[in-house]
Amino acid sequence: ETFDATSVEAWRARVAGFAVVVHCDCATDEELVACGAACREAGAAFVAAEARGVFASCFCDFGPEWVVADPDGEPATSCLVSSITTAHPALVTVVDDQRHGLEKGDEVSFSSCVGMADALNDATFTVVSVSSPYAFEIDLDATGLEPYVSSGYATKVKKGVTLRHKDARTALDAPGEFLTSDFAKFERPASIHAGFRALRAWRRDHAAASSSGPRFPATVAEAREVLARCKAALGEGGASSSLDEKAVLALALGAWGELAPIAAFLGGVVGQEALKACTGKFVPVSQFFYFDAMEALPAARGLGDTATLADDGSFAPVGDRYDSYRVVFGERVAAALRAQTYFLVGAGAIGCEVLKNWALMGVGAAPEGHITVTDMDRIEKSNLSRQLLFRATDIGHAKSQCAARAVCDAADGLNPAMHIAALELRVGGETEDTFDDAFYAGLDGVCTALDNVDARLYVDSRCVFYGKPMLESGTLGTKGNTQVVVPGVTEPYSATRDPPEKSVPVCTLKNFPNRIEHTLQWARDWFEGAFKQSVDDVNTYLKHAQTKNNTAPAGAGGPGFDKLDALRRVKTALVDSRPVAFADCVAWARLQFQECFHDSIAQLLHNFPADQVTPSGAPFWSGAKRAPAPIVFDADDALHLAYVKAAARLRASNYGIFPTALDEADANVRAVVSAVHVPTFVPRDGVRISANDAEEKEAQEKAKAGHASSDDLSPDELDIQCAELLAALPSPASLAGFELAPCEFDKDDDAHMAFVAACSNLRARNYKIPEADVHQSRLIAGKIIPAIATTTALVAGLICLELVKLVTATLERTPPTLESLKCGFANLALPLFAFSEPRPPATTVAKIPGGRRQGDEWAWTVWDSIRIDDRPDMTLKELVDYFDDEFGLEVSMLSHGVSILFSSFAAAKARERMPMTLKTLVETVTKKPVLPNKKYLTLEVMLQDEDFEEVELPYAASSSSDSRCPRWTRGEVDDTFLRTDWVQTCGRGVFALRYERPVSPGSVAASARSLLSRRRGGGVGRRCLLLVAAPSCLFPDSFGARRTSSSQRPSSPSIVCVDV
Residues in the chain: 1060
Q: Identity (one letter) of the amino acid at 925?
A: V
Q: What is the CA radius of gyration of the chain?
A: 36
Transcribe 297-355 into DSSP letters: S-GGG-TT-GGG----GGGS--SSTTHHHHHHH-HHHHHHHHT-EEEEE--SHHHHHHH
Clarify whether 507 is annotated catalytic. yes
* Torsion angle (degrees, nearest 10) of CA 507, 512, 516, 518: 0
Strands 20-24 and 45-52: parallel
Q: What distances in angstroms separate CA 468 from CA 121, 332, 343, 736, one per listed residue?
A: 58, 22, 11, 56
What residue spans of 529-617 are helical by DSSP H?
A: 534-547, 560-571, 582-594, 600-607
Give the C-alpha separation, 914 to 922, whole Å.
12
Give the C-alpha separation, 360 to 99, whole Å.
47
Q: Which of 113, 463, 507, 743 is catalytic?
A: 507
Q: How far apart are the first and last CA of the chain?
A: 85
Residue 596 per-residue DSSP state: I
Residue 420 forms beta bridges with which residues?
A: 371
Please say whether the beta carbons of 839 and 483 come within 8 A: no
Give the C-alpha separation, 689 to 473, whole Å.
46
Burial of residue 51, with CB atoms counted within 10 A of its CB: 0-12 exposed, 13-18 middle, 19 or more buried: buried
Give the C-alpha separation, 1010 to 803, whole Å.
37
3-class SS letters over 974-1036: CHHHCCCCEEEEEECCEEEEECCCCCCHHHHHHHHHHHHHHCCCCCCCCEEEEEEECCCCCCC
Residues 6+ apart with CB under 8 A from 158: 70, 71, 76
Give the C-alpha separation, 909 to 924, whole Å.
12
3-class SS letters over 252-310: HHHCCCCCHHHHHHHHHHHHHHHHHHHHCECCCCCCEEEEECHHHCCHHHCCCCHHHCC
Please say whether the beta carbons of 693 and 508 come within 8 A: yes
Give the C-alpha separation, 973 to 976, whole Å.
9
Nearest to 601 by CA among 686, 679, 520, 512: 512
* Torsion angle (degrees, nearest 10) of CA 262, 263, 269, 275: -170
Q: What b-and-e string marks burial along 395-421, b requiring 16 or more CB atoms within 10 Å of the CB?
A: eeebbbbbbbbbbbeeeebbbebbbbe
Nearest to 795 by CA among 560, 402, 336, 478: 478
Residue 858 forms beta bridges with which residues?
A: 846
Residue 834 forms beta bridges with which residues?
A: 825
Please say whether the beta carbons of 339 and 803 come within 8 A: no
Residue 130 forms beta bridges with which residues?
A: 136
562: number of CA atoms within 13 Å, CB side? 15
Indicate which residues carry an active-site annotation: 507
